[in-house]
Amino acid sequence: MGRRGTIVTFGEAMLRFTPPSLQRIEQASAFELWVAGAELNVAVALARLGEPATWVSRLPDNALGRRLAGHARANGVAVDVEWDPQGRLGLLFVEVGQRPRRTASLYDRDASAFATLDPAAFDWPALLDGARAFHTSGITPALSPACAQATADALKAAQDAGCHTSFDLNYRALLGTSEEARTKVEALAPQIDTLIASAGETKAVFGLEGEPADVAAALRDRLGIERVVISSRIDTGHATQVRRSVCVDADIVQADSAEFVTVDPLGGGDAFSAGFLAGLLADGARRGLELGGAMAALKQTIPGDFAILDPGEVEELAGGSTYAGTRR
């Protein structure tokens, strides 16, 4: 019973605990409570742009799980969750750092309600009924064999339903080796219309290095995916910028985001994915880079993982993008 035109995302979300005021976990006497999860972050960012978005997941039916679902609904996402009467919620402890101290994440997601899902419990044709697009990331299949099966099922069903399918590589060394990640994405590639990745990930997983445009082209050729988007960070000393290239057929479009001051880096890539999808589906890849770059820059000025944005401010910033298009 999907909503007309919705974009469906699928993945785990966790409660995220962060010490206030740049403290370390070992100092904190209280933790701020956020919600984190790549695919839910994408759904939230889409909903903030005014796009109907549905998040499919599995949560324990306890106060923590309800807290998480409420936070998603508060941000306008339709929550289509299987409630697990027993399981545990995945947790994430994040310290936000300042140079040279890194933002550090401590995951506690083993054996979560999501990781222990039953793939047969998800009726994908029904979940995707009326959907326009489907999105997930490399984290989902890496969580457990059952999750890998569910990811494959979902992508297949999405392709069958005529949805646009997108996949964020999101390689996490804690969840598996780079070989495992590569094998998984190669197997899923035939069902993927758009692949999104960072330069760091493509180096780790595919051994590809170079300018975003070159990596995008090489990866497109290698995986046979129609559209590949690659991002690469530029540190300007006092702020950050991201250069992103998307390769479709022989065309490459490239754009540098606005400079931004990082208040909380988590969820920046997910905000990009959301903006890219919204722009791509409305008006092509160039528009996707515009919206995605603006959303990612704004998101990183906001505490927490969610892109609590306003279409107006996104549009205002997106208007200032600079492009460099090439034909290879």
Residues of span 259-278 touching a second copy by CB under 8 A: 259-261, 263
Member of 3, 31, 153, 176 binding a second copy (CB under 8 A): 31
Mask: binding to a second copy, 103-132, rule CB under 8 A, as x and -? Answer: ---x-x-xx---------------------
Complex with a second copy: residue 63 or 173, whichever CB lies closer? 63
Member of 187, 234, 308, 324 binding a second copy (CB under 8 A): 308
Alpha carbon 18 to chain centroid distance?
20
Q: 49: part of which helix (H) or strand (E)? A: helix 38-49
Tokens of 280: 């791509």
Q: Does 177 bind a second copy (CB under 8 A)?
A: no
Q: Does 70 bind a second copy (CB under 8 A)?
A: yes
CA nearest to 118, candidates 87, 96, 97: 87
Q: Is 108 noted as a catalytic residue in this protein?
A: no
Rounded to whole angstroms, the Cα distance separating 248 from 244 reads: 13
Taking residue 302's Cβ as centre, other Cβ atoms within 10 Å add up to: 16
Complex with a second copy: residue 30 or 173, whichever CB lies closer? 30
Member of 131, 298, 305, 321 binding a second copy (CB under 8 A): 298
Q: 283: part of which helix (H) or strand (E)? A: helix 268-283
Edge to edge, what strands does the sheet with 240-248 contain?
Answer: 78-84, 53-60, 7-10, 133-137, 164-168, 194-198, 227-235, 240-248, 251-256, 322-327
Binding site residues, a second copy, CB under 8 A = 17, 20-33, 62-64, 66-67, 70-71, 73-76, 88-89, 91, 93, 95, 97-102, 106, 108, 110-111, 236-239, 258-261, 263, 297-298, 301-304, 306, 308, 313, 317
